Chain A
Amino acid sequence: MFDTNELVINMGPQHPSTHGVLRVVLRLDGETVVDAEVVIGYLHRGIEKLSENRNWTQIILLTDRMDYVAAATSNVGYCETVEKLMQLEVPRRARYVRTILCELQRIASHCLWVGTHAMDIGAMTVFLYAFRERELILDLFEEFCGARLTYNSMRIGGLPLDIPPGWDKKVLEFCKIMDGKVDEYETLLTHNRIWLERTRGVGVISGAEAAGLGMCGPALRGSGVPRDVRKDEPYAAYDEMDFDVPVGVNGDTYDRYLVRMEEFRQSLRIIRQATEGLPEGPIVGKVPRLIKPPAGETYHAIESPKGELGYFIVSDGKSTNPYRFRVRPPSFCNLQALPRLARGHLVADVVALIGSIDIVLGEVDR
C-alpha cells in the first residue's frame, strides 16, 4: 500500500502554460522532477514538404506560419536565403526597412515572451501590460502591410511596398513610448523578491553545455556566450548599426530574463538608428520575372527573436520550386535543453523554464 512509485504526469498538450500544444511527460518524485520527456508534433503541418511543391514566392507565405509571433523575421530569413542563392543585390533602403521590421518584430515577440513568462510565474499584470505595447507594434505592421499576425511582408529582392508616408515618424513615437514601458516591466519584476527567488538558480546551464545542446539566441547568451548572428554574420543592414549584445553570467532563468530585457533596449536603439538614417532609393532590386535560382544549395541564418533561424535550400536549377527546403528552427533546438534544465527542479520550475527558453510550437513542429 505504501509504495514510493514515481508519479508520471502528462503536462500538456492541453495545459495552460506549455505555450501551445507542447506535451511534457514528467516523472515526479513528490514534486521533484526526476526526468522530463518532451513530446512534439501536435502542430506539424509539413511546411518543409509543402514548400517543395510551391514556387519560390509562395513559400514566403508559409514561413509566416512557422514562428507566428515573429512572422516578419521568418520572411526576411527566407528571402535573404533565396537572394544569396541567386546572388541578388538588395537596395539599401529595403535592407534598412527590413532591419526596422525585424527589430519591431523582436520587441513584439519579447513582449509576448515577458508577458507569458511572468504569467507562468504568477504575475498576471505584466502579461496585459506587455500585450498593450505589442498591440502598438501590430498597428504599425498593419499600416505597413495590412496584416497583423501573418504578414507576408517581404519579397525576394526587396519589399512588396514602400513604407506609408509618416510611418517612420510613428515608429520613432513608438520607440519613445516603449522606452518607459520596458522600465515599467522591470519595476514589476527585476527587483521583486519573489521573482528573484523563482528565477535565480533555476535551470542553470554552462555556456559550453548550452552550445553543445545546440541552444541559441537569448537562451545561449544568458549563459555568457556572446553569439549573435546580427554581429557575427551581419545581414540586412546590421553591419551599419551600432548596438551591443547583452550576455548573462550565471546561465539561469534570471540571466536569460535580464538578457531579453536588455535586448528590448538594444532593439529600440537599432530601430532609432535605422529609422533616422533611412536612405532614399528603390525598394526592389533587379529581380527576374520568373524566380528560378541556379542549381546549388545554400544555408543562411538570421537572428530571430528566439535565436538562430537558419534556412537550407537546394535548387535543381530547372523547376520553379525548391528541390529541398529545410529550416533550422531556434525553438526546436532550445527545446532540446528542457529535460536537461528541468531535471532535479520542481514542477513549478518547469513552467518557468518553458517560459525562459521562449518556444513557439508553430516553429518547433513546422
Chain B
Amino acid sequence: MIDTFVIPLLQIVIVLNATLVAVTYMVLLERKVIAWAQSRLGPMRVGPYGILQPVADAVKLMIKEDITPVRADRWVFTAAPIISMVPALIVYAVIPFGPRITLFGRSVPLYITDINVGLLYIVSVASVGVYGIILAGYASNSKYPLLASLRASAQLISYEVAVTLTLVSVILLAGSLSMVNIVNAQFNARVWFGFAQPVAFVIFLIGGLAETNRAPFDLPEAEQELTGGFHTEYSGMRFALFFLAEYANMIVVSSVATTLFLGGWLPPFPNTPALHFLYFVPSWAWFLIKSFVFLYVFIWVRATLPRYRYDQLMRLGWKVLIPLAIANLVVTGIVKVLIG
C-alpha cells in the first residue's frame, strides 16, 4: 500500500513543486547571470540581492488582467499555454535524480518511475509541447504570432530529428531505453557517454538550445523582429505558463543531457577504485551540479551570441547537424558491431 501509492504520490508532489520553484528561480538566475555578464547588478530590490524577485513576479503575473483578443479563437487560445506547460512537467516522471536509496529503513528510488521506454517517452511527450506554440500563434489571429508559430514549427521539427538521432547513438551504447539503465550502463563502462560520444553530445547541446527556443535560436520569440513572437497577444498567467514552460524545458534538456552524457548521478569516471572517494558526495548532488552547469551554459550562450536568421537556422539543422548525427550513428553502429 505504502510502496504503491503513498511514496509515488509523495514523490510526484515533491518533484512537481521542486520543479516549479526551480523554474521560477531559474528566471532569477538567468537575470542575475546575464546582468553580471553585462556589468550590471540585476534584480536587487526585492529581498536581499533580489532573491524574492520570483515571488514578486508570480504575484504580479497572477493579478494581471488576462486579456483574450476579440478575434482570437477562444478555446484554442486558452488551451495553447496548457498544452505547452503540461508536457514540460510530466517529462520529469522518468528523470532519475539518483539511484534507489534507503530512507527511514525503506528502499526508495530517487525517481518517480523507471519505464523501459523512458527515453522514447521523453521524446514523444516533449514533441507535444510544440503544439502549444503552433496553436498559440494560430489562435491569436494576429500576424506576428502567426509568423512566429510558422518559424517555431519548422525549427522544432527539424531540430528534433537531429536530437533524436543523437539519442539513438546513446541507446546503441547503453542497449536500453530506460533512463536508469542508461546511467547504469555508464557505470559499467566506467566512463560518461559524453566522452564516448562527443559528436552526439555537441549536437544534442545545439539541438537542445534550438528545441527550447533559446538564444541563438530563439527565433519564435525574437523580440526585435516579431515583437515577442507567439506570445505577443498573451498576458497575465497565460503568458506566465509559456514562460514557465520554456524554463521547465530548459531544465528537462539539462537533466536529459546529464543523464545521457554526463553519467546522471554518477561521479566522474565511475566504478574506478582510485576515484572512489568521490562517492562521498551524495548522488542527487552530482545530478544537480551537472544539470546546473548545463543551465549556466545556456544562459552564458544567450549573453554572448547574436541570433541566427530563419533560413540560416534551417540550413544549419538540415545540412550540418542531421548529416553529422546520421554519420555519427552509423560509425557508432559499426564500432559497436566490431567490438561486439
A, B assembled together: yes
Quick check: is A198 within 8 A (CB to CB) of the other chain?
yes
Quick check: is B319 within 8 A (CB to CB) of the other chain?
no
User: Is B38's CB under 8 angstroms from A125's CB?
Assistant: yes
B82 to chain A, nearest CB (A): 28
Per the bound structure, the CA–CA distance linking A170 and B309 in Å amounts to: 42
Contact code string A1-36 (vs B, CB < 8 Å = 1, else 0): 000000101000001110000000000100100000
Residues of B within 8 A of A195 (CB): 306
Contact code string A252-284 (vs B, CB < 8 Å = 1, else 0): 000000000000000000000000000000000
Per the bound structure, the CA–CA distance linking A195 and B304 in Å amounts to: 11
A259 to chain B, nearest CB (A): 19
Given A122-B215, A122-B307, decide whether A351 and B225 contact each other with a Cβ distance below 8 A. yes
User: Is B38's CB under 8 angstroms from A128's CB?
Assistant: yes
B32 to chain A, nearest CB (A): 14
Per the bound structure, the CA–CA distance linking A17 and B144 in Å amounts to: 14
Quick check: is A347 within 8 A (CB to CB) of the other chain?
yes
Quick check: is A194 within 8 A (CB to CB) of the other chain?
yes
Could you say which of B112-120, B161-169, B181-189, B216-224 contacts chain A?
B216-224
Q: List residues 218-261 of chain B with CB under 8 A from any CB of chain A.
A: 218-219, 222-227
Quick check: is B308 within 8 A (CB to CB) of the other chain?
yes
Quick check: is B65 within 8 A (CB to CB) of the other chain?
no
**CB-nearest residue of chain A relative to B316?**
A197
User: Is B309's CB under 8 angstroms from A125's CB?
Assistant: no
User: Is A192's CB under 8 angstroms from B306's CB?
Assistant: yes
Per the bound structure, the CA–CA distance linking A318 and B308 in Å amounts to: 60
User: Is A121's CB under 8 angstroms from B303's CB?
Assistant: no
Per the bound structure, the CA–CA distance linking A28 and B226 in Å amounts to: 13
Quick check: is B45 within 8 A (CB to CB) of the other chain?
no
**CB-nearest residue of chain B relative to A350?**
B225
Residues of B within 8 A of A119 (CB): 224
A-B pairs under 8 A by CB, number: 82
A254 to chain B, nearest CB (A): 12
Quick check: is B336 within 8 A (CB to CB) of the other chain?
no
Quick check: is B310 within 8 A (CB to CB) of the other chain?
yes
Instruction: Identify the interface centre among A118, A119, A120: most chain B CB within 10 Å of its CB.
Output: A120
**CB-nearest residue of chain B relative to A121?**
B306
**CB-nearest residue of chain A relative to B305?**
A194
Given A122-B307, A346-B311, decide whether A16 and B227 contact each other with a Cβ distance below 8 A. yes
User: Is B224's CB under 8 angstroms from A17's CB?
Assistant: yes
Per the bound structure, the CA–CA distance linking A92 and B216 in Å amounts to: 51
Residue from A132, A188, A198, A346 within 8 A of B304 (CB atoms): A188
Contact code string B265-301 (vs A, CB < 8 Å = 1, else 0): 0000000000000000000000000000000000000
Quick check: is B4 within 8 A (CB to CB) of the other chain?
no
Per the bound structure, the CA–CA distance linking A31 and B39 in Å amounts to: 36
Residue from B144, B304, B307, B310 within 8 A of A9 (CB atoms): B144
Contact code string A29-49 (vs B, CB < 8 Å = 1, else 0): 001000000000000000000
Q: List residues 27-84 of chain B with CB under 8 A from any CB of chain A.
A: 34, 37-40
User: Is A9's CB under 8 angstroms from B222's CB?
Assistant: no
Residues of B within 8 A of A188 (CB): 304
Residues of A within 8 A of B223 (CB): 16
Quick check: is A86 within 8 A (CB to CB) of the other chain?
no
**CB-nearest residue of chain B relative to A127?**
B38
B203 to chain A, nearest CB (A): 17
Quick check: is A147 within 8 A (CB to CB) of the other chain?
no
Residue from A15, A16, A129 within 8 A of B39 (CB atoms): A129
Residue from B147, B303, B310, B312 within 8 A of A124 (CB atoms): B303
User: Is B227's CB under 8 angstroms from A198's CB?
Assistant: no
User: Is A198's CB under 8 angstroms from B309's CB?
Assistant: yes
Per the bound structure, the CA–CA distance linking A122 and B222 in Å amounts to: 8
A196 to chain B, nearest CB (A): 10
Residues of B within 8 A of A31 (CB): 147, 151, 310
User: Is B224's CB under 8 angstroms from A16's CB?
Assistant: yes
Quick check: is B143 within 8 A (CB to CB) of the other chain?
yes
Per the bound structure, the CA–CA distance linking A127 and B306 in Å amounts to: 11
User: Is A122's CB under 8 angstroms from B306's CB?
Assistant: yes
B232 to chain A, nearest CB (A): 11
A301 to chain B, nearest CB (A): 33
B181 to chain A, nearest CB (A): 38
Residue from A192, A197, A348 within 8 A of B222 (CB atoms): A348
16 A-B contacts (beta carbon < 8 Å): A16-B223, A31-B147, A118-B306, A122-B218, A122-B222, A122-B305, A123-B305, A123-B306, A125-B34, A125-B37, A194-B306, A198-B307, A198-B309, A348-B225, A349-B309, A351-B225
Closest 9 CB pairs of A and B: A122-B307, A128-B38, A123-B306, A17-B224, A122-B306, A121-B306, A348-B309, A120-B224, A194-B306
